[in-house]
Structure 1
């Protein structure tokens, strides 16, 4: 029989590990860039599969934005810069 996980075992997690992934890369909708260009950008910059990039692009179009990747600020900032360098709106925000 497996031992049940108790809350006290979860307290061993370093707080730094939790905070390190506490940001999200948001891509914003615009009326300029094509679906194909945004999909290509997400695959090139974020390493998304074609399906994942297409799903994110649909969400960006219909919802106005989409969180395309989570991680630390230091990890996401260069990705954000690469996306904005291509003329697509993107920001790094803290997870709430």
Structure 2
């Protein structure tokens, strides 16, 4: 799973924009995930095969977001 972490640099609107433009989330879902990142400190924004999630993590880094890959919970 891909976890995006809160940071003191990126604006909330930018984070929602990245979720919409990269993942194709509709505005309500992108904003819901952005608010989780903002209030909870992180959010799971994607799941799937490890190779795919690693590509997503690199893309988030390219956008300037902090993201990590974690194993799915059993």
Bin for the TM-score computed over the shorter chain: over 0.9
- Figure out how many residues of one structure are paired with residues of the other and give that number: 73
Where 2:47 maps in the other structure, the secondary structure is: strand
1-structure distance, mates of 2:24, 2:2: 13
Deviation >6 Å, runs of 4+: none
Structure ID, larger Rg: 1
Structure 1 residues 74-85: aligned runs within 5 Å: 74-85=51-62
2-structure distance, mates of 1:35, 1:77: 23
Structure 1 residues without counterparts, runs of 5 or longer: 1-23
Paired residue for 1:54? Answer: 31
Paired residue for 1:88? Answer: 65
Structure 1 position 43, deviation (Å) = 1.1
> RMSD value over aligned CA atoms?
0.8
- 1:40 equivalent to 2:17? Answer yes
Where 2:3 maps in the other structure, the secondary structure is: strand
Q: TM-score, normalised by structure 2?
A: 0.92
Structure 1 position 69, deviation (Å) = 1.1
